[in-house]
Homo-oligomer: A and B are copies of this chain.
């Protein structure tokens, strides 16, 4: 089975590849070839290095998608995106990469299929950003998509195309709407959502972290491990069961900042929670107020997608996967 991962240098891409490397047949068959691309050259896990071709590539440049599809991968993970803030700041770049790039991939598949029968599985990383406030208390599977960012608009458009290309038999596609991933490994970053991870990750290694919002703020979370599980499950899922509605909101955990802090205290004690410094930031509070708080993702749960059910579990996964099982506080 030939696998193509677009956006392979990102956090989810790297973790997905590690999982594929250590779990034979997790994608339904042994991996015979692996093409990894990203705007910076990605790295393959050691166990797959002999089968892997790694390449720095912008999907939206002329001929890029065609070259990737000429190899006729069986499974394609499209994880690439210009992120929300950048797509908002740079209109042209956001539409070029997120919309034109995603569409170029679909068109390359269609044209390859016209040459010789071809219908790959395409798994697209979508986002809660397809939704825009105001929301019901719990967002159901049939709630409409009214994005309030260009990024969310671009994700919603690719979702529509994936459904139409799937309906027409060009691809076997599915769009995976990810919850906010927590705990994100790495350094604190400037993303408005960064604090949700910062206030757990930093105290767990004895570092201070800033909390810019009220403890009552509620949001929708899953761990990086759960996110990888969404993609590997989507790779082998019987999509006939999904039917023509190919955009699936993934399961997650609805939790407040207070829930996060209580879980941190349970796992790492009051020395950890004492490292959270409250510095209210009106701008971040305003942005976060427009985000969804809770979902009722019945379809994905029925289809066998799973996520964590407590924040303690999310924190323990971070300690296992990122800290070698050791708390540093």
A168 at the interface (CB under 8 A from B): yes
Q: Is A200 an interface residue, CB under 8 A from the partner?
A: no
CB distance B161 to A153 under 8 Å? yes
How near does chain B come to A241, taking the closest CB pair, in angstroms? 15
- Known A-B contacts A145-B144, A146-B245, A148-B244; the reply to A160 vs B157 at CB < 8 A is yes
Asked whether, in the complex, the Cβ of B244 is within 8 Å of the Cβ of A146, the reply is yes
For residues 159 through 201 of chain A, which have their beta carbon under 8 Å from a beta carbon of chain B? 160-161, 163-164, 167-168
Give min CB distance, A304 to chain B, whole Å: 21
A144 touches B142 (CB 8 A): yes
Q: Which residues of B contact A91 (CB under 8 A)?
A: 110, 168
Chain A residues touching B, range: 20 to 34
For this chain, the copies found in one complex come to 2
Picked from B136, B142, B143, B153, the residue with its CB within 8 Å of the CB of A160 is B153
Partner of A147, one of B142, B146, B157, B164: B164
Which A198-231 residues sit within 8 Å CB-CB of chain B? none
Output the least CB separation between A289 and chain B (Å).
15
Name, among A136, A146, A147, A150, the residue most crowded by chain B CB atoms within 10 Å (CB to CB).
A146
Considering the chains assembled together, what is the distance between the CA atoms of A59 and B58 in angstroms?
A: 29
A45 interfacial by beta-carbon distance below 8 Å:
no
Complex-state Cα separation, A297 to B160, whole angstroms: 23
Whether a CB of chain B sits under 8 angstroms from the CB of A122 is no
* Docked-complex contact B167 and A163, CB < 8 angstroms: no
A173 → chain B closest CB, angstroms: 13
In the complex, the answer to whether A150 meets B132 with C-beta atoms within 8 Å is no
A153-B160, A153-B161, A160-B153 as given contacts; A143 in contact with B146, CB under 8 Å: no
Q: Is A8 an interface residue (CB 8 A)?
A: no
Q: Is A16's CB within 8 Å of the partner chain B? A: no
Closest residue of B by beta carbon distance from A158: B157
Whether the Cβ atoms of B142 and A164 lie closer than 8 Å is: no
Interface centre among A132, A156, A164, A167 (most CB of B within 10 A): A164
Closest-CB distance, A12 to chain B (whole angstroms): 24
Closest to A155 in B: B160
Known: A132-B244, A168-B91, A244-B132. A156 touches B160 (CB 8 A): yes
Q: Which of A150, A153, A160 has the most CB of B within 10 A?
A: A160
Interface residues of A in 123-160 (CB under 8 A from B): 132, 136, 142-148, 150, 153, 156-157, 160
Give A153 to B244 CA distance when docked, in angstroms: 12
How far does the alpha carbon of A79 sit from the alpha carbon of B142 in the complex, in Å?
Answer: 28
With A132-B244, A168-B91, A244-B132 as contacts: A153 and B146 at CB distance below 8 Å: no
Q: A153-B163, A156-B160, A160-B153 are in contact. Are A145 and B145 (CB under 8 A)?
A: yes
Given contacts A153-B160, A153-B163, 11 further A-B contacts (CB under 8 A): A132-B245, A143-B144, A144-B145, A145-B160, A146-B245, A147-B163, A147-B164, A150-B164, A153-B161, A156-B160, A160-B160
10 shortest interchain CB distances as A-B pairs:
A153-B164, A144-B144, A146-B245, A142-B144, A157-B157, A153-B160, A156-B160, A150-B164, A157-B160, A148-B244
